[in-house]
Amino acid sequence: MKDKDLDGMTFEDIARGIESMDIRGAAFIARAAALAIAKHVENFQGEGIDQFEDWVDKGKERLISTRPTAVSLENALRYVLKPGDDVESWKTSIEMRADEFIKRSHEAGKKIAEYGGKRIKDGDTVLTHCNSSLALGAVEYAFDQGKDVKVIATESRPKKQGYITVRYLAEKDIPVTLIVDSAVRYMIREVDQVYTGADTIASNGAVINKIGTSQIALCANEARVPFTVCAETYKFSQGTAFGELVTIEERDPSEIVDPADVRGVRIRNPVFDATPADYVDSIITEEGVIPPSSAYRILKEMFDY
């Protein structure tokens, strides 16, 4: 699904789409949430600022409940929902700020593609995990600059977002090899750089991304292969600066296996993990390339505390 597919959808269609993962990837989720909340306020039928505030809160809570790990969604809503003085001006502000957020998200993506793409060298093989629009943007930028770039993409069990990645790259004629997640340590000898996305970046520089990312970072560290994360500043989590821990989403076990096939067995399906800052060489943001130790500075500038 793409941004333009959201236009005809209602608020609840978008919320369900995020829940079911038809709408997925932290950047897309954030833009979808911004658009959804603007649609939600259009449907307000009550009276007065108090009722409007309740209506806004209801919409916000519904969206936040859809996927608990990606702070991009929460930060998008924080940006869009800057409080207003009366219903009409607040409504207008929400609609304008939603448009603005979506535009800024696309612009940030373009900058990250450029900064990330410049750091990919001619002849590089880049390993990526899951399906990050930003990591792929960087690869595409390098390829479009005429560089000989190859990609190794993990399958990314259980939802196999790696298939979205390989199909996308193959369509662009970017040479790509698909591997199972457990082949990373074997294949790392053929890899020059690892590029991934992020769902959340904590104030200590830890990167929360698709389950398996931290194992890849360990392999990259052991093989001295640089590990780069592509993420807009709205993926940095303010809450973590004040002691909050990132909630790791656990999804339905049936995504892994039919429970009837393994009776009597507990199945767990955590879908994200945290890669400590020590294993991350650079984070590429729209503000520039930063070390993970600068996460707190980014948060301080963003939230002005």
Which residues form the catalytic set?
130, 199
> 262: which 2 tokens?
């393994």
Q: Is 271 in the site for ligand RUB (CB under 6 A)?
A: yes
Q: Is 24 in the site for ligand RUB (CB under 6 A)?
A: yes
Q: Is 197 in the site for ligand RUB (CB under 6 A)?
A: yes
Q: Which is nearer to ligand RUB, 26 or 225 (CB)?
A: 26
Q: Is 132 in the site for ligand RUB (CB under 6 A)?
A: yes
Q: Is 199 in the site for ligand RUB (CB under 6 A)?
A: yes
Considering only 32, 36, 71, 130, the residue that binds ligand RUB (CB under 6 A) is 130
Stretch of residues binding ligand RUB (CB under 6 A), selected from 6-14, 45-53, 139-147, 192-200: 192-200
CA–CA distance from 35 to each of 104, 108, 286 (Å)? Answer: 13, 17, 22
**Residue of minimal Cβ distance to ligand RUB:** 197
Is residue 184 within 8 A of residue 210, CB to CB? The reply is no
3-class state of residue 92 by DSSP: helix
Is residue 225 within 8 A of residue 191, CB to CB? The reply is yes
The distance of closest approach from Cβ of residue 208 to ligand RUB in the complex, given in angstroms and rounded to an integer, is 9
Q: Is 25 in the site for ligand RUB (CB under 6 A)?
A: yes
Q: Is 26 in the site for ligand RUB (CB under 6 A)?
A: yes
Q: What is the CA radius of gyration of the chain?
A: 20
Stretch of residues binding ligand RUB (CB under 6 A), selected from 20-28, 117-125, 138-146, 214-222: 20-28
The distance of closest approach from Cβ of residue 157 to ligand RUB in the complex, given in angstroms and rounded to an integer, is 12
Q: Is 210 in the site for ligand RUB (CB under 6 A)?
A: yes
Q: Which is nearer to ligand RUB, 22 or 122 (CB)?
A: 22
Is residue 299 within 8 A of residue 78, CB to CB? The reply is no
3-class state of residue 206 by DSSP: coil
Q: Is 27 in the site for ligand RUB (CB under 6 A)?
A: yes
Helix axes of 26-42 and 71-80: crossing angle, nearest 10 degrees: 40
The distance of closest approach from Cβ of residue 1 to ligand RUB in the complex, given in angstroms and rounded to an integer, is 12
**Judged by CB under 6 A, how many residues of this single chain contact ligand RUB?**
16
Task: Tell which positions 142-161 bind ligand RUB, by CB under 6 A.
Answer: 161
Query: CA 233 to CA 302: how far, in whole Å?
Result: 8
Tracing tokens 């990312």 back to the chain, one arrives at 213
Query: CA 155 to CA 128: how far, in whole Å?
Result: 10
Query: CA 125 to CA 142: how far, in whole Å?
Result: 11
Query: CA 183 to CA 189: how far, in whole Å?
Result: 11
Q: Which is nearer to ligand RUB, 56 or 201 (CB)?
A: 201
**Vertex 96, ends 284 and 29: CA angle to 5°?**
45
For 36, residues 6+ apart whose C-beta sits below 8 A from its C-beta are 6, 11, 14, 15, 59, 63
Q: Which is nearer to ligand RUB, 56 or 211 (CB)?
A: 211
Q: Is 233 in the site for ligand RUB (CB under 6 A)?
A: no
The DSSP element (H or E) to which 273 belongs, if any, is strand 272-275
Q: Is 133 in the site for ligand RUB (CB under 6 A)?
A: yes
Task: Tell which positions 169-188 bind ligand RUB, by CB under 6 A.
Answer: none
Tracing tokens 């790990």 back to the chain, one arrives at 69
Residues near ligand RUB (CB under 6 A) are 24-27, 130, 132-134, 161, 196-199, 209-210, 271
